[in-house]
Amino acid sequence: MSASTQTDQQTAEQLKAMELTQRDDQCGTGRFVYWAGVLFALAHIYFNTLGTLSELWVSAIHFSGFALICALMVPLSKKHGGARWTIAIDVVIGLVALGTTAYLILFEDALYARGVHFDTTDWIVAIVAILVALEMTRRTTGWFIPSLIVFSLTYVFWWGQYVEGMFNFPGLSLETVLYRSYFSSEGMFGSIARISWTYVFMFILFGAFLVKSGAGDFIIELSRCAAGRMVGGPGFVAVLGSGLMGSVSGSSVANTVSTGVITIPLMQKAGFPARFAAGVEAAASTGGQLMPPVMGAGAFIMASYTQIPYVEIIAIAALPALLYFLSVGFYVRVEARRSHAHAVEMHTRPVKEVLKEGWHCLLPLVVLVGLLIYGFTPTYAAGISIISVVLASWISPNKMGLRDILDALAQGSKNMATTAMLLVAVGLVVNVVAMTGIGNTFSLMVTDWAGGSLFITLVLVALASLVLGMGLPVTAAYIVLATLSAPALYSLMAERELIELIVNGNLPETARAIFMLVDPNSLTALAAPMSEAQAIALVDQIPSDFKGQLLDQAIDADKLAMILLAAHMIIFWLSQDSNVTPPVCLTAFAAAAIARTPPMMTGFTAWKIAKGLYIVPLLFAYTGFIGGSVEEVISVFIFGILGLYAFVGFMEGHLEGPLNIALRLFSGVCAAGLLYPHGHLTYDLIAAAAFIALFIYSRRLAPAEAV
């Protein structure tokens, strides 16, 4: 066996080790999972189109079915996954999960007939169901989430009453906690579970059909054609391919594995350092969850939290996502100039030929976006788009037959298993937050720590997202963080808008009446513009109980909705940082396995390249990038592009050529001028002109042999 073959096998083994431990598809359990996946996918299509069952029942069926699939896919023991005793235990756990759902459906009326007083069987079923959820989550995501759930539930009925201070909770009975956790539509089967079996499942299934139809290969080939012949082209292929693939899969690790096996070796061949190549792929793949129309599961949860239509969210998210991918592309360009990367012959075909063969892969995305814009629900649009994938394949050489359709149905269910268990289980934590009111307490605590500073609040949220990301998957981290800190962010951002209205003397009459109740003399001050310090002092006089009403009266409802969306978008973006931030950064580790570079150092490189994850949310907080006028959004976008490029020059000390200390600092000043929300177009234009001049001058500093 050659050394190259051995190395390839080692890489494959490293990537396999990062995946869930799954049983062989060809064994008996594997075949059962295949057909169970097919049937379960068809059942979900029925639930989302023609079904009339109650949402509670469907959520329970969703849980138990995926618990069965998950139990058979991911064995109890990694070491003894094929042993009969392990399989027997897994089968029993799966059947028990089905039994708990059957009990809920059959005996729900009996429970209410007893006045919601538990009998012995109710106690057993509720406890067992929660234990199954904990075990399935442990298998798929590790110990952190089950520990968090146990910590949360015991706080409600046991140790919360012993906590001193603001987190003291008198406690609820264990019977009440179990009822609200399992038998009601608030815990495991609450809004998060409904999002799981509706939006998330349908879009994951849509992605599985797209991949099966050959869309993944088409995306990679198209990216190679579009950027492959440029200097540093393989790096741009990684950025472009990961962005397009992210619009289909919404999974950063899946992006890394599918595109990285092609782009990382090509980047190395072009002359990029191996660690940089892996970092680019990890950073670009992380952006996959930011790219519409799928955006992972986060966009659907965001739509539920904010009550803003999904199609509006993905429309607003498009330019920020593009800004992020451009920021990664700037690192590629700078490194290509510094490393003297050269063009690589990638045996690409003409773009026309690739489009001629694969244009049909774009049709389902067009159908999806068209239906969403027309006003259809996301689940209906996803269902029709799945059908369009099959129909579109019939006008191509690779027609999807019955077997391909069955494979896509089964793969969609397999892909959903981990996410389903995660979302159902996290619903328990969300329910605890709702039961105890700890979300409001946490928001008040964050606001107190930050001293009313929006920037410090953003820093605290970023740190919290990083800590949570060490143990929680991105989606779970977003759910927990949004539940706890979104109210604080929203309040501070809305108050900032209120203060601006007061400073400019534009406060509506209805809002002035609230100030009059607190201080009759304030009406005189509000009649004319005032300083920001005076406005802040005036707002601080309003009791917290009245601030919500004041914001509703002072700020337009649509504007408040956009502020709420901006708060959630900030948290959603910051929650992605765990993909590329050491010590836990699975996306970077997957890229490192392909590039054969040290995982932790690769993580730091990816973290540096993915700085857009921190900078773009600042634009959400301090500008009208989310929900502003068309002119404001375009202005922020254009100056943001230049600002991010200037920031890369400052970080790397290089643009078209090397920058000395003075020029590097000058690039940083340009970046600050372009990104800082001062609100003066003249300053932006001056900073833009200065950076463009620096960029042009840096070309003169490039070595003569640079390409």
Handedness of CA 626, 627, 630, 632 (dihedral sign): negative
Question: How does residue 514 score in pLDDT terms, banded at 50, 70 and 90?
Answer: confident
> For residues 243 and 476, which has the higher predicted lDDT (pLDDT)?
476
The pLDDT value recorded for residue 344 is 58
For the chain, percent of residues with pLDDT exceeding 70:
91
The pLDDT value recorded for residue 402 is 92
Question: How does residue 361 score in pLDDT terms, banded at 50, 70 and 90?
Answer: confident
> For residues 356 and 374, which has the higher predicted lDDT (pLDDT)?
374
Distance CA 667, CA 662 (A): 9
Q: Residue range 526-531: average pLDDT?
A: 77
Instruction: Evaluate if residue 546 carries a pLDDT over 50.
Output: yes
Distance CA 128, CA 656 (A): 62
Instruction: Evaluate if residue 364 carries a pLDDT over 60.
Output: yes
Query: Residue written as tokens 């949220």?
Result: 461
Task: Give per-residue pLDDT as tens, 253-262.
Answer: 777 877 788 7
The pLDDT value recorded for residue 614 is 92
> For residues 118 and 548, which has the higher predicted lDDT (pLDDT)?
118
The pLDDT value recorded for residue 472 is 72
Task: Give per-residue pLDDT as tens, 467-503.
Answer: 777 667 788 888 888 888 888 899 999 998 888 888 8
Question: How does residue 615 score in pLDDT terms, banded at 50, 70 and 90?
Answer: very high
Handedness of CA 398, 402, 405, 410 (dihedral sign): negative
Residue 181 per-residue DSSP state: I
Residue 110 amino acid letter: A
The pLDDT value recorded for residue 659 is 92
Evaluate whether 507 touches 526 at the Cβ level (below 8 Å). yes
The pLDDT value recorded for residue 127 is 96
Query: Residue written as tokens 């932790």?
Result: 600
Per-residue DSSP letters for 616-637? HHHHHHHSSTTT--HHHHHHHH
Provide the whole-model pTM. 0.86
Distance CA 348, CA 41 (A): 37
Distance CA 666, CA 690 (A): 9
Evaluate whether 298 touches 286 at the Cβ level (below 8 Å). no
Q: Output the CA–CA distances (angstroms, integers) from residue 72 to 23, 66, 180, 264, 341, in the order listed.
A: 8, 10, 28, 34, 48
Buried b or exposed e, range 605-630, using 16+ CB within 10 angstroms? bbbbbbbbbebbbbbbbbbbbbbbee
> For residues 215 and 86, which has the higher predicted lDDT (pLDDT)?
86
The pLDDT value recorded for residue 3 is 53
Q: Residue range 587-593: average pLDDT?
A: 86
Distance CA 216, CA 637 (A): 29
Q: Residue range 216-245: average pLDDT?
A: 72
Question: How does residue 155 score in pLDDT terms, banded at 50, 70 and 90?
Answer: very high
- Identity of the highest mean pLDDT range in 69-78, 180-189, 463-472: 180-189
Range with the poorest average pLDDT among 177-181, 532-536, 556-560: 532-536
Task: Give per-residue pLDDT as tens, 654-705.
Answer: 998 999 999 999 999 999 999 998 878 899 999 999 999 999 999 888 775 5
Instruction: Evaluate if residue 25 carries a pLDDT over 70.
Output: no
Question: How does residue 443 score in pLDDT terms, banded at 50, 70 and 90?
Answer: confident
Instruction: Evaluate if residue 10 carries a pLDDT over 70.
Output: no
Nearest CA to 577 out of 550, 603, 558, 547 is that of 603
Task: Give per-residue pLDDT as tens, 277-326.
Answer: 999 989 988 888 888 877 777 788 898 889 998 889 989 999 999 999 99
- How buried is residue 149: exposed, middle or buried, by Cβ count under 10 Å (0-12/13-18/19+)? buried
The pLDDT value recorded for residue 13 is 57
Task: Give per-residue pLDDT as tens, 449-462.
Answer: 888 788 999 998 88
Question: How does residue 466 score in pLDDT terms, banded at 50, 70 and 90?
Answer: confident
Instruction: Evaluate if residue 600 carries a pLDDT over 50.
Output: yes
The pLDDT value recorded for residue 349 is 67
> For residues 230 and 635, which has the higher predicted lDDT (pLDDT)?
635
Distance CA 656, CA 336 (A): 9
489 phi, psi to nearest 5 deg: -60, -45
Task: Give per-residue pLDDT as tens, 335-353.
Answer: 988 887 765 555 566 667 7
Mean of pLDDT over the chain: 85
The pLDDT value recorded for residue 707 is 44
Rg value, the chain, Cα = 27
Instruction: Evaluate if residue 440 carries a pLDDT over 80.
Output: no
Question: How does residue 153 score in pLDDT terms, banded at 50, 70 and 90?
Answer: very high
- Say if residue 598 is preceded by a cis peptide, omega within 30 of 0: no
Helices (H), 504-556: 509-518, 522-526, 532-540, 544-554
The pLDDT value recorded for residue 331 is 93
Instruction: Evaluate if residue 248 carries a pLDDT over 70.
Output: no
The pLDDT value recorded for residue 227 is 58
The pLDDT value recorded for residue 126 is 95
In the chain, % helix, strand, coil (3-state, to 5) comes to 75, 0, 20
Instruction: Evaluate if residue 77 carries a pLDDT over 80.
Output: no
For the chain, percent of residues with pLDDT exceeding 90:
38
Q: Residue range 139-162: average pLDDT?
A: 90
Distance CA 293, CA 372 (A): 10
Distance CA 517, CA 21 (A): 64
Nearest CA to 427 out of 149, 200, 158 is that of 149
Token output for 7 = 């190395």
